[in-house]
Chain A
Amino acid sequence: MRRLFDDELADLDADFTEMGMLVSEVIQQAVEAFMKRDAQTAQHIIDHDHDINQREIALEKKTFEMIALYQPVTTDLREIVTILKAVSDLERAGDHARNIAHSAIKMGAKQKVPEIEQLISEMSQMTTQMVKDVLSAYVNKDEQEARALAGYDRKLDRLNHAVRESSYQQMREDAAFETGASIYLNVAQDLCRIGDYVTNVCEWIIYLKSGHIIELNSASEGTGS
């Protein structure tokens, strides 16, 4: 029997996925803007950050309404809770994309360190792919995919570590590069945090399927600097 609840849930699901796609796009644009030092695109991202926030608020409001009006239980409740929790993770991932846009502007015409640029490029490809994959894992309710994705988070941590090492090295060689190095550190850290939020969403997908709240990568290294 198809319930009115199912229709509302399908709408909610679609809105959530759409927001996820928007966040994924913004992350990609922010990273590209950083690599190209494209201040104009970066500013555009900063100016439109509230679009993501507004979508988050609208989704939260809708989930509260559905909880109040339908009093969902079992799988229904888990679907709603998953969206409610994951939407905050997506929004925060979006905040980090905005930070990267700020970094792109701050970096301006400072020198590029090819080795670090390469690492950041690798991190950004991994991050944008993770965001896309987590959305598909969500849409397909694919617990295996969600578990597999968490593995990339560790790789991101290692790359972040490598960026840090290289940046310190660069500073030792050229004290004047201090600001540039700290921006690199921030960008790598932002990408790492996006990976953490993707991992959180993975945990909610697993909860949705199994009813168990678990922690993936509980011993995740290098997330605090």
Chain B
Amino acid sequence: MAKQYEFSSKGLPYLLVLPQMAIVLVFFFWPSAQALWQSFFVQDAFGLRTQFVWFDNYLKLFRDPEYWDSFGVSAAFAVTVALSSMGIALFLAAQANKKIRGASFYKTMLTWPYAVATMVAGVLWLFMFNPNVGVVAWFLKDAFGVEWNHLLDSTHAFLLIAVAASWKQIAYNFVFFLAGLQSVPATLVEAAAIDGAGSFTRFWRIIFPMLSPTTFYLLVMNLVYGFFETFPIVHQVTGGGPGKATSILIYKVWRDGVVNLELGSSAAQSVVLMILVIGLTVLQFRFIERKVTY
């Protein structure tokens, strides 16, 4: 990369970064520092007095079986969503990448759902599976005798939010896998075919390894999505229930902070989540540096 021309001006560059830095400072560093600070305090019920308690909030958190349950549900949920939406997206991208009639129509139709809000995805699936008005819930009962009720059955609840979250995420993964597939040199695949490799072997031995940077990037992004960005679906569809069955970490932070007003605990949870995301991001950069390739 060529070294860029550098203007000489004393004040101007500071003026240029000022708006961005002001916003980063006020809405990023300040709240993050406050979360850290607040996680060392407990507040009484009326918010009148606060007491410094060292790591008590964290210790309480890690001793709380409910927190570990929430951790388990989140991990199961994030992994389920990541694997199913990535698997389906990869399969569809491989199909749409073939030279077939209407390929561009298929590509558009599989891309636009990216624009559907996570919250709306929740509403769509809620509407189909609502025990009273849902068409699919009615069909399940009529045809298979399954009494669908995600408000009472925790397996139903988990399945419903997992399907809604995966449905929404397929388009995102599809865009990346398709771009990845299009960059695999056709000559390489043809050479393998001449050597007698069948289409199955060609895919798993040649194409899939070449996609590994994309796959790894998507895995991290999908885990982040599953852990943190699926709040709208949980909030809209199950409310964390039945009981606490679908109360994933990000939902619990919100609930403990906004509804139960346990500010110290909520702040400690925020800090744990921050460490989790930083870990995932660092992992991602490590791998990108080492170039996950064939």
A and B, one complex? no
